[in-house]
Amino acid sequence: MVKRSFTEKEKIVFYGIIKYPGINDNALGKIIDINPSTIATIRNKLKKQNYFQIIRIPYLQYCGFELFSASYDRLYSPNLSESPSLILGNIYKRIPNIFFLLSAPDSWVSLGFYQNYFNLKRVNEITRFNKYQFDLQEDTEKQIIFPFGLIKIFNFFDYSQIIQNYFELDIKPTDFTQILPQRFVEQIPGSTAQTSTLKEIDMFSDLTSMDLEKSYSFVQSFSGQNNIKLTKAEREVFVALIRYPELSDFAINKIISISATSINNIRKKFEAQSIIKQRIIPNLGLIGFELITLTHLKFRSKGNLQSRKELIQENLGKIPCLLYVSSNTDEVILAAYKNFSEYQHINDDIIRIYRDRDFLASEPRTLLFPLSESIVIKEHTYLPIVNQYLGRGKSIIDSVLEIIGNKLGETGKQILIKHIEASEIPSDDMTLKGISTLIKIIEEVITPIFGTKSANEIITKIKKLQKGK
């Protein structure tokens, strides 16, 4: 893949929109000292060329979720009937807890949120059975379970430090409260909260704010305490913000019939409470990165979090990490490198230091995901788990399949699945356009096989289901 040549202004703007995803071009212009019209031109051009996507991440640890997990495995099965990525997609696409799934020809990694241990074990049972069905090895998967109250998440998909290092930008942290009018400062989530750096805090204190200026060296403690209760309107806005991350509050108002002012107030409340954060996710392959790695380290008791805190700070300055999660016993790092040589140099240096301190309980494990050969099967797919959390139950598609299964049996269900997969209906949720497409499929496919009466009964139930949601 040919690397794009970025101008100096493009590099700075690209870094700026990733570092400050929630602010407008006028405010960003004051921070990075570039004309807002130039920022708008560069932003629009990079977006049109698919150099980044906008997402919102729900921080479900503040909504009662107790566990975060990372799972990985090698792919050993030599006689698979389909590609590993296709099989993994079929296994995990209807598991709402899994929001990230990356596959290489010989390995894979997934990330997920779970309400509790029962929820996690139930999902594991389902995926284990599905692996058996697809003739994929069942019992070799390694799963690291992180209870939110006992871990530190140092980076959760903030790419700003990666982009700054890649472009070799000499940008010092900016005190934006001194250079921005108050109306602009208020746009930056967490800007009015008290901030702390790694060296200034107790590693086991509970923090609820995000230091935007020093996010790469900031430790945020997540616990399942102080769960936030949402009103009916807040629940609707919560879902809409996750589903439509690129839309303005005014545009979302046109979809969910809640006033733009109310949406704006609720969004700001969510951001202040750190239960939703906007992120800009760069297309690393287009930019020129060649490799993503997953590293899992296990530690002896002497290598607990308190003992490792200074090393972790050094690591955060070295490793181009997308995700960095630590507990007393385990550390999981997802990182992106320019090339294999850069990975080897940084990784060997970090492992050597841990070995010298006699912190490691076993040999670290690293899986390599060359971007030219890897497929992101799920990338920040949060809507299904948000729907589940809000009590919305199954997606409309799953509910429709259940209706058809009850009415027409497994044959009718499989016929519909085949046509759904061939259509453009989103598998994780259903828009009004998707409902219309689904009804059309039933009319055209189910009617000739099972008759008009059966099709009409199913369509009536779907329309009632739609109104109920």
Q: Give pLDDT, residue 178.
A: 47
Q: Is the pLDDT of residue 469 over 90?
A: no
Beta strands at 107-114 and 52-58: parallel, antiparallel or unpaired: unpaired
Q: Is residue 2 part of a domain?
A: no
Cα(385)–Cα(382) distance, integer angstroms: 6
Domain residues for the domain of 293 are 52-228+273-392
Identify the residue whose tokens are 């020129």: 288
Q: Are residues 189 and 309 in the same domain?
A: yes
**222: exposed, middle or buried (C-beta count within 10 Å: 0-12, 13-18, 19+)?**
buried
Tokens of 255: 């979809």
The burial class, CB within 10 Å (0-12 / 13-18 / 19+), for 326 is buried
pLDDT at 77: 63
Which pLDDT belongs to residue 53? 94
The verdict on 379 and 399 lying in the same domain is: no
On whether residue 131 sits in a domain, the answer given is yes
- Pick the last residue of a domain from 360, 392, 424: 392
Tens of pLDDT along 18-66? Answer: 999 988 999 999 999 999 999 999 999 999 999 999 999 999 988 889 9
Cα 189 from Cα 107, distance rounded (Å): 37
Beta carbons within 8 Å of 57's beta carbon, 6+ residues apart: 156, 157, 276, 277, 278, 279, 380, 382
Question: What tokens were used for 225?
Answer: 């305490």
Domain assignment present for 114 = yes
Element (H, E) at 223: none
Contact 50, 61 (CB under 8 A): no
Instruction: Report which listed range, 236-245, 437-446, 455-464, is most confident.
Output: 236-245
Does residue 22 fall inside a structural domain? Answer: no
Q: Could you tell me if 80 and 112 lie in one domain?
A: yes
Task: Identify the burial level of 460 via C-beta atoms within 10 angstroms of its C-beta, where 0-12 means exposed, 13-18 middle and 19 or more buried.
Answer: exposed
Q: Torsions phi, psi of 43, nearest 5? A: -55, -50
- Highest mean pLDDT out of 36-40, 438-442, 460-464: 36-40
237-241, 340-344, 345-349, 459-463: least confident range:
459-463
**pLDDT band per the 50, 70, 90 thresholds, residue 285:** very high
pLDDT of residue 446: 79
Q: Is 21 part of any domain?
A: no
The rounded distance, in Å, linking the Cα atoms of 402 and 381 is 23
> What pLDDT, on a 0 to 100 scale, did the predictor assign at position 422?
67
Tell me the pairing of strands 98-104 and 375-379: antiparallel
Mean pLDDT estimate for the chain: 81
Cα 120 versus chain centre, distance: 18
Same domain, 277 and 135: yes
Name, in order, each residue with C-beta under 8 angstroms of 361's C-beta and a sequence gap of 6 or more.
298, 299, 300, 303, 329
Confidence of residue 316 (pLDDT cuts 50, 70, 90): very high
Q: How many domains does the chain have?
A: 2
Single out the residue of 428, 427, 421, 402 nearest to residue 239, CA to CA.
428
pLDDT-derived band at 79 (thresholds 50, 70, 90) equals: low
pLDDT digits over 160-201, tens only? 999 999 999 987 655 444 444 444 445 554 444 333 333 322
Residue 358 burial (CB count, 10 A): 9
| pLDDT band at 397; cut points 50, 70, 90 | low
The answer to whether residues 399 and 388 belong to one domain is no
Instruction: Judge contact between 373 and 108, C-beta under 8 A.
Output: no
Last-in-domain residue among 347, 376, 392: 392
Segments of 85-151 assigned E as strands? 98-104, 107-114, 142-147
Burial class (CB in 10 A: 0-12, 13-18, 19+), 327: middle
Same domain flag for 57 and 176 = yes
Q: Are residues 218 and 328 in the same domain?
A: yes
Under the banding of pLDDT at 50, 70 and 90, the label for residue 211 is: very low
358-364: average pLDDT: 95
Same domain flag for 163 and 211: yes
What confidence score (pLDDT) does residue 419 get? 74
Residues 176, 164 share a domain: yes
For strand 330-337 and strand 276-282, is the pairing parallel, antiparallel, or unpaired? unpaired
Q: Is the pLDDT of residue 268 over 70?
A: yes
In percent, the amount of the chain with pLDDT more than 70 equals 79
CB atoms within 10 A of CB 81: 9
Same domain, 98 and 159: yes
Same domain, 314 and 382: yes
More confident residue, 36 or 399: 36
Report the C-alpha gap between 198 and 219 in whole angstroms. 6
Structure confidence at residue 78 (pLDDT)? 61
Q: For residue 279, is pLDDT > 60?
A: yes
For residue 185, is it within any domain? yes
What is the per-residue pLDDT for 333?
97
Top-ranked range on mean pLDDT: pick from 59-63, 129-133, 210-214, 309-313: 309-313
Task: Let me know if residue 60 belongs to a domain.
Answer: yes
- The radius of gyration computed from the CA coordinates of the chain, to the nearest angstrom, equals 23
The last residue of one of the domains, among 392, 407, 435, is 392
Band of the pLDDT at 390, cuts 50, 70, 90?
Answer: confident
pLDDT of residue 128: 86
Tell me what the mean pLDDT of segment 235-262 comes to: 88
